[in-house]
Structure 1
Amino acid sequence: MSLSNPTAYVDELTGENTDTDKLLVHLGLFTAVLLMALPILIALLVSTQQRGVITSPADLLPGSHMVHNYYTVMTDYNFAVYMWNSFVMSTIIVVGKLAISLLAALAIVYYRFPFKNLMFLLILFTLMLPVPVRFVPLFNIVTDLGWYNSMLALTIPYLASATTVFLLRQHFLSIPESIVETAKLDGVGPLKFLVYVLIPMSKGMLAGVSVIMFIYAWNQYLWPLVIIDSQSQQVTQVGITLLQGDIQAGELQWSIVMAGAIITLIPPLLALIAFRKPLLETFGVQQK
């Protein structure tokens, strides 16, 4: 057989079941995606019902109380305040982490100082410490500083990120050395080099890292639960727990709880959709 038509040659080698194999692969992928999205779909359906109690498959049909449930969550249960607090907290954490991580990665890659590799290893070592282990000393420090029940308590402990420093360090190492040498010959200082060279060349990486940090900050639950006792300062993840504590007529209002869960899911989902491409590039996923 002639190799002038490679596609036909490959089809002949793989047999006549090429279309069937592709169909099975797509069917398997669709099934996997459906199984992963099934809890969200169920929560969305329950949030449209009056009570949200599921006793049979027929109870999973869409209801007519969607607008009422979502309006009730946002107004009567102060979820608008929780959403705003979570957004402010996440934004401050993202901006602060980026600033600190950029400076740290700049120093680790382009500066020479004693025990530089040891310092980098110590930064990575912090990834091995479970977050709950740090809660007691962190709580004591925050309360001694007078930050209890404040936005400072929610944000300052999360401004340092070993993961972000590591990702930015690896990215900076991939930048050609000739660019660095040219900047030195032109007398460009370190901060100008960071602002006018590194950051423009790292827009995709920074966007991807920002999405990761935003979702991480948005999903914080245990630390806000410990350090915040005022509902006006609370965040959405704890707000869902507060919804579960509302019992009416001896029955938990699952439709209200699911409405709150769906509302909480929207901001990180929009961030994932908007910055999908840089996020994939951050993890080294190439699409052709």
Structure 2
Amino acid sequence: MVERKTIFSFLPHVILLAGIFIVAFPVYVAFVASTWDPATISNGQMPLVPGPHLLENYYQTIFVGTAKSSREPVGMMMLNSLIMALTIAIGKIAISIISAFAIVYFRFPFRMTAFWVIFVTLMLPVEVRIYPTYKIVADLGLLDSYLGLTVPLIASATATLLFRQFFMTVPDELVEASKIDGASAMQFFKDTLLPLSITSIAALFVIQFIYGWNQYLWPLLITTRESMQTIVIGIKKMIVTQDALTEWQIAMATAVLAMLPPVLVVILMQRLFVKGLVETEK
């Protein structure tokens, strides 16, 4: 039987293509702007084709820096952002998976109270507790340091909740089999739970990496040296109040570079990421 296709069959594709165009066109314009000289961008006559200054602008952006606002090269900013994003993602996963393991598989006083205390912190984002957190970091002398950038953001009630819900679906037979084999609690965790949690870990890693990479308010508060600023802060500092002083080709190149690591992480871990979000049977 031949299925007759109507105009409504193509409607989802049209909507999808329109959405891709709306999202991708500003990115393309930013890339084109990063390949032209400042005069072409400022006079409003910039064409929609790449210009002749691609290598020159990107070399200056990554290795030299800007001349009128932040003098730090973007390569250093990207390194700071990468360290921050990786530390936050790995730290959140490590702490959350161990916390969930303890809550599910160990019996100790106030076990559920501890879980609900962790859960309640979902209602206390960084913006709500920003002053006491900053005060503690400043008193410990962690301003302008990687520890100050990452440690206050590592705890994650969301990841703990997700791991707990997954661990509760693991059959009790696996626990009993591990006990019969003489495996300790940590051996059961390492040999059984971790392999079963790979897809969940991958999905959380992608989410938490992007969360750490896009942080703006916290790095803005605790970094005073330009050598410690992240790429998100760098983009803001490049766009100065006087429009004529903004080096738009450098700012646009920085914006394009800032998108690359999160995009690469999503592409490289796409299969595990999607599997970790939609898989129901482990």
Whole-angstrom CA distance in 2 between matches of 1:90 and 1:99: 14
Residues 28-50 of structure 1, C-alpha deviations (whole Å, 9 max, x = no match): 21111211222212211221221
Residue matched to 2:26: 39
2:83 corresponds to 1:88:
yes
Residues 69-127 of structure 1, C-alpha deviations (whole Å, 9 max, x = no match): 11111122111111111112222222222221111010111112233333222212111
2:64 corresponds to 1:76:
yes
Deviation at 1:150, TM superposition (A): 0.9
SS at match of 1:283: helix
Whole-angstrom CA distance in 2 between matches of 1:217 and 1:61: 33
- Equivalent of 1:236, from 231, 243, 254? 231
Deviation at 1:20, TM superposition (A): 3.2
Deviation at 1:64, TM superposition (A): 1.7
Give the TM-score, by structure 2 length: 0.89
| Structure 2 counterparts to residues 169-188 of structure 1, below 5 A | 169-188=164-183
The letter for the 2-side match of 1:279 is: F
| Residues paired across the two proteins, number | 271
Q: Which runs of 5+ in 1 are unaligned?
A: 1-7
- Equivalent of 1:166, from 161, 166, 184? 161
Moved segments of 4+, more than 6 Å: none
The letter for the 1-side match of 2:32 is: L
SS at match of 2:210: helix
2:126 corresponds to 1:131:
yes
Residue matched to 2:69: none
Whole-angstrom CA distance in 1 between matches of 2:179 and 2:153: 34
- Equivalent of 1:201, from 185, 196, 199? 196
Residue matched to 1:63: 51
Residue matched to 2:15: 28
Residue matched to 2:269: 275
The letter for the 2-side match of 1:85 is: N
2:125 corresponds to 1:142:
no
8 Å CA contact 1:53–1:59 kept in 2: the answer is no
Residue matched to 2:68: none
Residue matched to 1:213: 208
Whole-angstrom CA distance in 1 between matches of 2:47 and 2:193: 55
SS at match of 1:59: coil
8 Å CA contact 1:54–1:60 kept in 2: the answer is no
Give the RMSD, CA atoms, in angstroms.
2.1
Residue matched to 1:3: none
SS at match of 1:132: coil
The letter for the 2-side match of 1:60 is: L
8 Å CA contact 2:203–2:276 kept in 1: the answer is yes
- Equivalent of 2:251, from 254, 257, 260? 257
SS at match of 2:278: coil
The letter for the 2-side match of 1:176 is: P
Deviation at 1:53, TM superposition (A): 3.6
Whole-angstrom CA distance in 2 between matches of 1:117 and 1:276: 34
Whole-angstrom CA distance in 2 between matches of 1:280 and 1:128: 27
Whole-angstrom CA distance in 2 between matches of 1:130 and 1:90: 17
The letter for the 2-side match of 1:120 is: F
| Structure 2 counterparts to residues 115-130 of structure 1, below 5 A | 115-130=110-125
Q: Which runs of 5+ in 2 are unaligned?
A: 66-72
8 Å CA contact 2:200–2:277 kept in 1: the answer is no
